[in-house]
Amino acid sequence: MTMAQVPDMESYLMDNNSDYEESFYDNFYCDTKKSFHDSHCFSGASSCSGYIPEKDSVFSFRKAVVIVVAIDKLRKRINCHRDFKDTDLLDLFNTIFVQEDIPFETSSSTFAANDQYKYSISKECCIRDSYNKSMALLQSSGNARLVAIYLQELNSEREEKIIMNVYVKQNVSGINKRPVTLGLVGRNLYLSCSSVEGEPKLYLEKVSDIKEVKQDELQRFIFLKSENDATCTFESAACPGWYISTSQAENEQVQMKPEADQKYIREFLVLS
């Protein structure tokens, strides 16, 4: 155990406002001289011894007072700066926190609200490629496919009207991309994109109500519509980097093509 040492008197006085303490002891010295003088010089005496105590004795008393004051201050300092132990922290936690069982339930269902497509609005329109070819439906042997052809006024009724359902989804890459589904009005046929042997293909699927399609199945029907001045593009959400495209030749099937393929047309006009 390390014993506490009383600091040097002179240094201690300098560290603890020695100017005030000097004044205090100066007054004490003067008062002491006076009291001793008065006790030896009384009324009616023919003479006075004029006794004044020796300066060394007063200084010794002064040192004794300083030692008492220093020890008292040192004792208070030691008590106030006791080390904070781990047991003190543990007692504090035990006082604040009370251990109790927390009930919980396990669930096998998972939710990803931020990844869901939320239906917004619908509108009917006609979609033509930038070469002004219209969308027409061809059906044979129970199969339906969409082709791009030039239509005159006499056969303009062959042009398919499109129902465009607009969705809202967070974290869609690109500032001006809007998720949409594209269906043929009155036919319950919707364009979808799925990968076959590593290559995305465009299909027409029969859907009674696109709004009732589950989120995990809706992805293949979603196309990201990006506007660029008067034209727009439709990128597959299921197969990023692949776009709805038409051939430069007439009466060719509408397909999915990568952005790098410049032989096909991927810019379209949306007409109300």
pLDDT digits 0-9 by tens, 234-262: 999 999 999 999 999 999 999 999 999 99
pLDDT digits 0-9 by tens, 113-123: 446 899 999 99
Q: Mind spelling out the 3-state secondary structure of 28-54?
A: HHHHHHHHHHHHHCCCCCCCCCCCCCC
Look at residue 90 in the predicted model and tell me its pLDDT: 62
Residues 41, 43, 46: CA angle, nearest 5 degrees = 70
Confidence band for 20, pLDDT divided at 50, 70 and 90: very low
Q: Which two tokens stand for residue 104?
A: 């919980």
State the CB neighbour count (10 A cutoff) for residue 220. Answer: 21
Q: Which two tokens stand for residue 90?
A: 């543990």
Look at residue 112 in the predicted model and tell me its pLDDT: 47
Mean pLDDT for the stretch of residues 1-8: 50
Say if residue 178's pLDDT is above 60.
Answer: yes
Which comes out higher in pLDDT, residue 196 or 127?
Answer: 127
Q: Which two tokens stand for residue 116?
A: 């869901």
Helix spans in 81-142 (H): 86-96
Q: pTM higher than 0.85 for the full model?
A: no
Look at residue 89 in the predicted model and tell me its pLDDT: 56
Look at residue 45 in the predicted model and tell me its pLDDT: 45
What is the percent of the chain with per-residue pLDDT over 90, rounded to a whole number?
Answer: 47
Mean pLDDT for the stretch of residues 199-222: 95
Distance spanning both ends of the chain, measured CA to CA:
94
Right CATH number for 116-271 from 3.30.300.30, 3.40.720.10, 2.80.10.50, 3.40.50.1100? Answer: 2.80.10.50
Look at 58-72, 115-129, 178-192 and tell me which has the smallest mean pLDDT: 58-72
Instruction: In whole angstroms, give the CA distance from residue 121 to residue 86.
Output: 63
**Contacts by residues 233-240 (CB-CB < 8 Å, ≥ 24 positions apart):** 233/266, 233/267, 233/268, 234/180, 234/182, 234/266, 234/268, 235/177, 236/193, 236/200, 237/179, 238/193, 238/194, 238/195, 238/200, 239/193, 239/194, 239/195, 239/200
Instruction: In whole angstroms, give the CA distance from residue 248 to residue 264.
Output: 6
Confidence band for 55, pLDDT divided at 50, 70 and 90: low
What are residue 118's DSSP bridge partners?
A: 168
Q: Round the average pLDDT of the chain to a whole number and report it.
A: 77
**DSSP output for 51-65:** ----HHHHHHHHHHH
Domain ranges of the chain: 9-41+50-96, 116-271
Instruction: In whole angstroms, give the CA distance from residue 116 to residue 226.
Output: 20
